[in-house]
Structure 1
Amino acid sequence: MKVTIDQDKCIGSGQCVMAADRVFDQREEDGIVVLLDEDPSSEQADDVRHAVEVCPALAITIEE
């Protein structure tokens, strides 16, 4: 799985961090998503998929 983010789309809701905090973080100054791991482990895959589903801005994409 390869994860990509579009920081221009991100609205800083933090849903991705709540879903997969080992893969996503937020910038302190504005809450925009920061990708911590573009190739997460298989143990994190379900959490990352959930983050994609709950992102209100559709700023996260995954390639299986």
Structure 2
Amino acid sequence: MEKKLVIKMIRNCLKQYYEADSMPIGDKDLENLSKRIFQIKEEDPPADLFEVVNDVVYEFLAD
């Protein structure tokens, strides 16, 4: 799985909640979210990547 793809998916998911210029996320947060997504996929390989990304982004925004 490519990191660039996951970062792009995170940004696209955030667009549901924010406009592109007002996203409340920096490079460090993107890195942490992508690491969390890779960790979940490693623990549960059949998990749908789209759902994992959406769940992780939602958890990030809910905190």
TM-score by length of 1: 0.29
Higher helix share: 2
Q: Which has the higher strand share?
A: 1
Q: TM-score, normalised by structure 2?
A: 0.30
Structure index of larger Rg: 2
